[in-house]
Structure 1
Amino acid sequence: MSSQCGKLYVVATPIGNLADFSFRAVDVLKEVDLIAAEDTRHVRMLLQHYGIANRLVSLHQHNEETASAGLLEKIRGGLDIALVSDAGTPLLSDPGMPLVRMAKDAGIEVSPIPGACALIAALSAAGLPVSRFIFEGFLPRTSSSRKTFFKERLNCESTWVFYESSHRILDALKDMSEILQADRQLVIAREITKLHETIVKRRLDEMLELVESDENMRKGEFVVIVEGAVIDKNNQALSAEHLSVLKILLNECSVKTAASLAAEITGAKKKVLYQAALEMMGKVKG
């Protein structure tokens, strides 16, 4: 790579409070040759607040494949470019992945300028375990797809997190309540760092009631954090869901295979599932 090659900076911007912007981020945005922004009009207000007079180009989900190629050539030609999204850390449910991937593949230096991130901010104040967590981005848009999503995570023992919009948060909680137990702990963090910031921890059934009854709890931008499943490894009892999964698998597989697959899917003990499968198939000697 030529010594004349430029550099790509991935710069986190505030998610609400303009004061959540580092001195380093301001310096970088002042010094680069070009700023690639998700929405130039939105980012221009931030730049004006900090007295940054720099050239902006648009890089959003509808043009990023073609625009990224052009930006890569500019970096190859020696320009330093900063990548920003509308709010928070780029690539976290925001555009930018094609440009970063192309730059890394081309051997171009990519430097992160850390800052605000709704996901991390919410986790830090949630009061749920964060030693292991899974970030799921935005939920599917349809009810049936959301229910499938929740079923697939029914026995996930890690904390899991997703983003949701104001016009779907209530429907998402209703779908979740049909799949998860009512006592599963939930945290909703809305409008983080903004004037009406709210971070609430409740049981799932209580959270659904709160969001249904309080119109304010259906406004803003949401991070939802779900407690991981607590699975009793010593519990020999099979739930109705365990048995349902096993029954479906027995229609396609041998007893041994069905028990093994059901154990992987549900987390129940294979020996217990195998015994239940034998009973379903009427193969238990008596």
Structure 2
Amino acid sequence: MSVSAPESQPIGKPSFQRALEAAHAAAGGQDYPSGALYVVATPIGNLADMTLRALHVLSMVDAIACEDTRHTQQLLRAVGLHRAGNELIALHEHNEAEAAQAVIARLQEGQRVAYVSDAGTPAVSDPGARLVAATHAAGLRAVPLPGASSVICALSAAGVLGDGGFVFAGFLPAKAGERGTAMDALAQEPRAVVLLEAPHRITALADALAALGGRRVTVGRELTKQFEQIATLPCNGLPAWLAEDPQRQRGEFALVLHPAETSNAPGDDDRVLRLLLAELPLKTAVKLTAEITGQPRNALYQRALQWRDE
């Protein structure tokens, strides 16, 4: 069933009024099932990154669960929306299990509830995963509304090469011992790794990454915001880069640790692949060779096919 959005009350930036009109025109005729949780991505800094579908849904749901009610109320007002205080439900890392049950109760009554974190896509590094899991466990539907994500934003600007995918590590542990263990694992990870960090811990992270030597890292600071900064440099140069300008230590950080460069001598990957092909099926041999040597799987696969046809 299609649901028309209620008339918005413009108390925020008037520049969003046309966006709201466009949102209702573009998304108003779509289907919005009742008794569903809408997982809504919000901007990570630039308000203009709010999607039309997100604007429409946030204006028409029965309630909005959010990581910080004050922060979300400010966001809603900034985009020209107004929701009464009793329509906002606090759901954060300290009360997620309990608050999730309150949301489930609303969904079981047939209400539509949106969930937003303070910024970006919920349930990735921010709260929301327990809520979504509880929604599924109750036999209810979770509807994702994609949008801004610091993880994907950083990756898209890093220029990471290779076809091995990436690992999302998020925030490393705060305790030195646990952080050291995590860093040891990162040193052995050949794929790209996305990390998040807060300003008060960025120098500690830089010092830890410096142990990885010349492996490259892309630093994304204040992504999408006015003072956005993106730089790619060797890990062992990161502490000095941060120290050069105090401004570089401010803001939220998303970092991409580039894939480790292979140290195999020329022809070593061919030798490994030939040995494995003699004992294993082609796809398995290619997969293992890629993991051992760090070479792109597609290139190894084409090479194996060429040898088979010779």
CA contact (8 A) 1:122 1:223 kept: yes
> Which letter does structure 2 place at the counterpart of 1:95?
P
Residues 119 and 53 (structure 1), Cα distance of their counterparts in 2 relative to 1, 3 Å cut: same
Q: Please report how far the alpha carbon of residue 48 of structure 1 lies from its aligned counterpart in structure 2 after TM superposition.
A: 1.0
> Which letter does structure 2 place at the counterpart of 1:44?
Q
Tell me, in whole angstroms, the C-alpha distance in 1 between the residues paired with 2:149 and 2:156. Answer: 11
What is the DSSP-based 3-state SS (H/G/I as helix, E as strand, rest coil) of the residue aligned with 2:74?
A: helix
> Which letter does structure 2 place at the counterpart of 1:163?
L
Choose which of 48, 65, 72 in structure 1 pairs with 2:77.
Answer: 48
Instruction: Output the TM-score relative to the length of structure 1.
Output: 0.77
Equivalent residue number for residue 22 of structure 1: 51
Q: Please report how far the alpha carbon of residue 230 of structure 1 lies from its aligned counterpart in structure 2 after TM superposition.
A: 2.2
> Which letter does structure 2 place at the counterpart of 1:176?
L
Equivalent residue number for residue 195 of structure 1: 226
User: Deviation per CA, 1:144-203, whole angstroms, max 9, x where unpaired?
Assistant: 32222111121211100110111111111112223xx42111110010011110000011
Q: Please report how far the alpha carbon of residue 81 of structure 1 lies from its aligned counterpart in structure 2 after TM superposition.
A: 0.2
CA contact (8 A) 1:10 1:82 kept: yes
* Structure 1 residues 42-191: aligned runs within 5 Å: 42-54=71-83, 55-129=87-161, 131=163, 132-178=165-211, 181-191=212-222
Q: Please report how far the alpha carbon of residue 118 of structure 1 lies from its aligned counterpart in structure 2 after TM superposition.
A: 0.6
> Which letter does structure 2 place at the counterpart of 1:187?
T
Q: Please report how far the alpha carbon of residue 43 of structure 1 lies from its aligned counterpart in structure 2 after TM superposition.
A: 0.7
CA contact (8 A) 1:143 1:172 kept: no
Residues 7 and 86 (structure 1), Cα distance of their counterparts in 2 relative to 1, 3 Å cut: same
CA contact (8 A) 2:67 2:127 kept: yes
* Structure 1 residues 137-286: aligned runs within 5 Å: 137-178=170-211, 181-234=212-265
RMSD (Å) for aligned C-alpha atoms = 2.2
Q: Which runs of 5+ in 2 are unaligned?
A: 1-32, 267-287, 294-310
User: Deviation per CA, 1:54-87, whole angstroms, max 9, x where unpaired?
Assistant: 3211111111111101110110111000000011
Residues 56 and 143 (structure 1), Cα distance of their counterparts in 2 relative to 1, 3 Å cut: same
> Which letter does structure 2 place at the counterpart of 1:145?
E
CA contact (8 A) 1:5 1:76 kept: no
**Higher helix proportion:** 2
Equivalent pairs: percent with the same residue? 38
Residues 130 and 160 (structure 1), Cα distance of their counterparts in 2 relative to 1, 3 Å cut: farther
> Which letter does structure 2 place at the counterpart of 1:92?
V
Q: Which runs of 5+ in 1 are unaligned?
A: 236-263, 270-286
> Which letter does structure 2 place at the counterpart of 1:76?
Q
User: Deviation per CA, 1:180-229, whole angstroms, max 9, x where unpaired?
Assistant: x4211111001001111000001112222111222111110001111122
> Which letter does structure 2 place at the counterpart of 1:65?
A
Tell me, in whole angstroms, the C-alpha distance in 2 between the residues paired with 1:112 and 1:125. Answer: 24
Q: Mean Cα displacement is larger for which, 140-149 or 73-82?
A: 140-149
Which runs of 4 or more aligned residues in structure 1 lie more than 4 Å from their structure 2 counterparts after TM superposition?
none
CA contact (8 A) 2:209 2:236 kept: no
What is the DSSP-based 3-state SS (H/G/I as helix, E as strand, rest coil) of the residue aligned with 1:107?
A: coil
> Which letter does structure 1 place at the counterpart of 2:97?
E
Tell me, in whole angstroms, the C-alpha distance in 2 between the residues paired with 1:130 and 1:141. Answer: 31
